[in-house]
Structure 1
Amino acid sequence: MRLLLMRRYTPRVTLGRLFLGNRQVSFIREAPKACCNPGLHCLEEGVYELEPVHTEEEGWRIRVGDRGWIRSKAPNQAPGSGELCPVSAYRADGTPLFTQLAFLKLMDELEPVWEKGEVVELQIVARTLPYSQPTCRIAACS
């Protein structure tokens, strides 16, 4: 099974939509692209294997390859480097809504697949930036 994350970059945050086939599962918020903030950045585009992980301290989360995590974060908490945070909806002012619910719905989709022993992958693709930032440290910031 393969999920598709279609994202777009902004200077402060990376926003995306997570799809299973043609159906949107949730919105995703991430840290900005590395060229916008080298200290706090989203995962590179590519294909990653997903694996469920449970700890007593953090509960359930999903490992994205060996470089990131899908986890629920409160609306007032910004995503860290390599974190993909599901969101059900946004308020008019851009505040994320129903973050825990979005993560639980994603787990409900993926749990039966993992129980069957199937591999779940995440493919991350992005739209190119409509402009070039002069402060970008990477030549192609798209």
Structure 2
Amino acid sequence: MNTEVQNLYTKLIDAWNRRDAKGMSDQFADQGVPIGFDGSKLIGKEEILAHLTPIFLDHPTAPFITKVKEIRSLGIDTAILYAIAGMIPPGKSDIEPAVNAHQTLVAVKMNNSWQVELFQNTPAQFHGRPELVEEMTEELRQLL
């Protein structure tokens, strides 16, 4: 199960990094929900595709650098994945600590296929604790 859930997450992140709205929406369950860094909440593949398509067409989105921290089974057909993520802004070569995030993915197995039921990208700003921002950034830099 862990490998399948890891692969699902990897496909989702790779689609973001390719700026592929269809590739991202395809990873979600029919009523799957992504909650973005800014709090945007979408419901279902069609809404996800409609939201992401103009973003990828009109904005130079930054690619994610991610590290899976834990995958845990919540039953035979459900799992939760926790990861940390950073982004390298277009034209830059280093991670921008201000947009570090915790990512949570809830995966469900339906019709023999793992799909994203919930993906949440939460800012990791650690208010008043800059050492934690730096620690996360350094951990992600090790992946570059």
| TM-score, structure 2 as length reference | 0.27
Structure with bigger helix share is 2
Structure with bigger strand share is 1
Structure possessing the higher relative contact order (Cα contacts under 8 Å, 6 or more residues apart): 1
